[in-house]
A and B are shown apart, each in its own frame.
Chain A
Amino acid sequence: MTNSMTRTARLIFTLTLLGTSTLLGHSALAQSPLFQPLYEVLSHPRCMNCHTITDFPRQGDERRRHDQLVVRGADNHGAPTLQCSACHQDNNVADGAVPGAPHWGLAPLSMGWEGLSASQLCQVLKDKSKNGDRSLADLLKHMSEDDLVLWAWTPGGNRTTPPLSQPAFVEAVQAWVNAGGPC
């Protein structure tokens, strides 16, 4: 009798834990499984550090404020005379210490993704009033061809890369676009 009660109590406890973790984990899970792989890439620091909602970029996997306290600036490319391109060239430097890619800069504030759940990020990504008037096809092109996006997979130094390979990411975006961009 006591054993049976203990087992029941354990079961209830385990189920409660599972239920709680599902609830807690909900915000990180997209409602559409087709968007989930995109979310895992877009929320990676290589993407998110410049898709901020702040007036400055971040850096590193710990996502600290960018060194030198550089700022976003009116055109998302830094202060008028301290532009991102003052340090970030079109390519990573030889030893990888300073990353670089063409048109290095922050995404506009309307494309800031920090703090968004997967489904919110999905909606913002598709919202033409926020995404630079891009259709789903335009998004596919941006995410598969833009030099600055592609940099995330060749970031230089010991920087980590997004969880999907670049070809797998393009396949995932293609599948999401083909399905009409479900969130």
Chain B
Amino acid sequence: MFTIRVNGIAHTVDVSEDKPLLWVLRENLKLTGSKYGCGQALCGACTVHIDGQPTRSCVMPISAVGDKQVRTIEDIGNEHIGGLVQATWQELNVPQCGYCQSGQIMAATALLKDNSSPSDQDIDKALSGNICRCGTYPRIRKAIHKIATEQL
């Protein structure tokens, strides 16, 4: 049995200690916004925040979560910057197929919370682990700059 705090709420789940956090979120808690892409921390689709840091939930065993705060795409809009990111993503039609975008939004939100005026290079460094097969990178970059220049 593990009790983890997700989006501010404590959940107790009866799972094996090596079950990845992603599958606890998706299967046990029915929070399906975080996506399974590669299962090897290579694509970033499963990105959640652990104590504010973007983390690949597909390779984080539930036993490693402890009392750290987990925040997912379902709740990120309740944060000021997370809300700005989601609204701007909609405004600029950033997603194409959308599969990677919850991970992109989690990474972009963490970046903007840490750095209110990121350069192109800062964006590359922060989001290089979030892969988009549709190639929406120019729109992602444009949206991050738009938020930084107009709203932060």
User: Is A82 interfacial (CB 8 A cutoff)?
Assistant: yes
User: Which residues from A are CB-within-8-Å of B122?
Assistant: 79
A80 in contact with B55 (CB, 8 Å):
no
Task: Check A81–B129 contact: CB distance below 8 A.
Answer: no
**Docked complex Cα distance between A90 and B113 (Å):** 26
B126 touches A79 (CB 8 A): yes
Complex CA gap A111/B110 in Å reads 30
- Cα A137 to Cα B103 in complex, Å, equals 45
Number of CB contacts from chain A to chain B under 8 A: 61
- Are A81 and B55 touching (Cβ within 8 A)? no
Residue of A nearest to B20 (CB): A93
By a CB distance below 8 angstroms, the chain A residues around B114 are 80-81
> Are B126 and A81 within 8 A (Cβ)?
yes
Q: Give the interface size class of chain B.
A: 20 to 34
- Report B-chain residues with C-beta under 8 Å of the C-beta of A87: 41, 56, 59, 129
In angstroms, how far is the closest chain A Cβ from the Cβ of B55? 5
User: What A residues does B40 contact at CB under 8 A?
Assistant: 93, 97-98
Is there a chain A Cβ closer than 8 Å to B60's Cβ? yes
Interface residues as binary, A70-84 with B (CB distance below 8 Å gives 1, 0 otherwise)? 110100000111110
Are A70 and B129 in contact (CB-based, < 8 A)? yes
**Chain B residues positioned under 8 Å from A85 (CB to CB):** 53, 55
Inter-subunit contact B111/A86 (CB<8 Å): no
Please tell me if B115 contacts chain A, counting CB pairs below 8 Å: yes
A-B contact pairs, 8 of them (CB 8 A): A71-B125, A79-B122, A80-B126, A81-B54, A81-B107, A86-B55, A86-B129, A89-B64
A interface residues with partner B (beta carbon < 8 Å): 67-71, 73, 79-83, 85-87, 89-91, 93-94, 97-98, 100
